[in-house]
Structure 1
């Protein structure tokens, strides 16, 4: 979402028209975001303010949703220490996850926009103990209208420098877990689905490496100069989603 259809609360030129054209041609679309600092309600409210109403059960997937599903399937009944903000904590608990501050079975790192140093130290202590360590997504930066702010990938590097550990599993894009979860929600087949995004190592890779089409737009983090050194080669490249409209 960030960097592909909007920046902060400003639509990228042509993005609303692109979404409308998808529906006019009988296709479906779903927003799939790695940003785990916000829950579904935050995104639905934001899009409503921006003039777009969606069905959150079928048109919005976050790395938080996919991580809840992953934890319930792989660590049923386990107590989770979540390095995340209040909105994500509420979403985890609503999704049936038991959160634990002192004696967890599993630790989960998310894009926490509210942490302090004491919380970071506590998280590192749990990681050093060798508890299973799950990350909601790998993004290094989150785009804004004024540039970028550090995202969870930057935190993982920090924690690794202190503890010697990276996450055992990362659920969000480009990994299979969030793609399988999304396709299941949509009832879609990978060969009939395209992932459109502004990041090679998350958005485009999640398509190319999982049997979907990967479409790269230059309206966010990555640019053409990043392609020669990337192991991800998109199927198609556009300046923005606006350029896709005539091809639908």
Structure 2
């Protein structure tokens, strides 16, 4: 199993792991202080593509958490890297929030083309029936179809809100197609993007998160994983799952003593 102190890069999930809505979870700030005191690199890694990087930096700053752009990686960021690596057309149908649209537009993508060459599905909290119809029509027409991440629920204070996974399922029911690629956790592409950014090997990384089928399943790529019970997963769900975390903790605060 190894020791938590051997980890060279911590990837921290956000919703349900580090905070809920706008409130840091107990010990979250202390955990960052402990990493910094030991000069251990970390980065926030979230599948939530409803906000761009700058929005997350502002949200963290409002909690007195100040990090650099290098220390923030979203599934939206990783999707842009994927599109560039695979030489996708700049003409896209993007189903996403205004924040995600701005991020893609800043990267040079044309989002209002009459004849898009590919479709990207993000976590769109502004989803309308018109958007859903355009999405299904584009997928049905056979355009390359990319989703930023697979999550079914996004944890918020008081419960959950539907995430992109439900939309992927709906689109499959209507069109018969699943995404050609899903970029975010638990897929290897996002782990390799983080490893490359910090110059570390996958086995020296620890993904800290609350979700079995994304955060902990990322361990199949070769990274270590730490499951916390402050979000979606419970000990009962973990016991019944096929995923195996390297470590389990009640919350991020319990990890401090193991550093």
TM-score normalised to the size of structure 2?
0.92
Instruction: Give yes or no for the alignment of 1:73 onto 2:85.
Output: yes
Paired with 1:241 and 1:69, the residues of 2 have a C-alpha distance of 29
Instruction: Tell me the alpha carbon deviations over residues 57-84 of structure 1, each in whole angstroms, 9 at most, x when there is no partner.
Output: x100000000001011113334211011
Q: Name the structure, 1 or 2, with higher relative contact order (CA <8 Å, separation 6+).
A: 2
- Cα RMSD (Å) of the superposition? 1.1
Q: Distance in 2 between matches of 1:97 and 1:196?
A: 32
Match for residue 184 of structure 1? 196
**Please, which of 130, 136, 140 is the counterpart of residue 118 of structure 1?**
130
- 1:168 paired residue number: 180
Displacement over 6 Å in runs of 4+? none
The C-alpha deviation readout for 1:92-125, integer Å capped at 9, x for no partner, is 1212333244311111110001121111111101
- Counterpart of 1:63 in structure 2 is 75
Q: How does 1:199-218 map to 2 (within 5 A)?
A: 199-206=211-218, 208-218=219-229
> Do structure 1's residue 222 and structure 2's residue 233 form an aligned pair?
yes
Q: Does 1:82 align with 2:110?
A: no
Task: Give the match's secondary structure for 2:93.
Answer: strand
Counterpart CA distance in 2 for 1:96 and 1:218 is 40
The number of aligned residues is 246
Is residue 21 of structure 1 aligned with residue 34 of structure 2?
A: yes
> Given that residues 47 and 53 in structure 1 are in contact (C-alpha distance below 8 angstroms), is that contact kept between their aligned partners in structure 2?
yes
- Once residues 201 and 101 of structure 1 are traced to their aligned partners in structure 2, the CA distance between those partners, rounded to angstroms, is 35
**Cα deviations across residues 25-56 of structure 1 (Å, max 9, x unaligned)?**
12011000000000011111111111111101
Give the CA deviation at 1:231. Answer: 2.3
Structure 1 partner of 2:244: 233
1:124-162 per-position Cα deviation (integer Å, ceiling 9, x unaligned) = 011111111100000000000110000000111111111
Q: Which residue of 2 aligns with 1:12?
A: 25
1:80/1:105 contact within 8 Å kept: yes
| Cα separation, partners in 2 of 1:108 and 1:76, compared to 1, 3 Å | closer
Alignment of 1:29-44 (within 5 A): 29-44=42-57
In the aligned structure 2, how far is the partner of 1:77 from the partner of 1:135? 16
Residue 54 of structure 1 pairs with residue 67 of structure 2 = yes
SS in 1 for 2:200: coil
Distance in 1 between residues matched to 2:194 and 2:112, nearest whole Å: 28
Question: Which residues of structure 1 form unaligned runs of 5+?
Answer: none
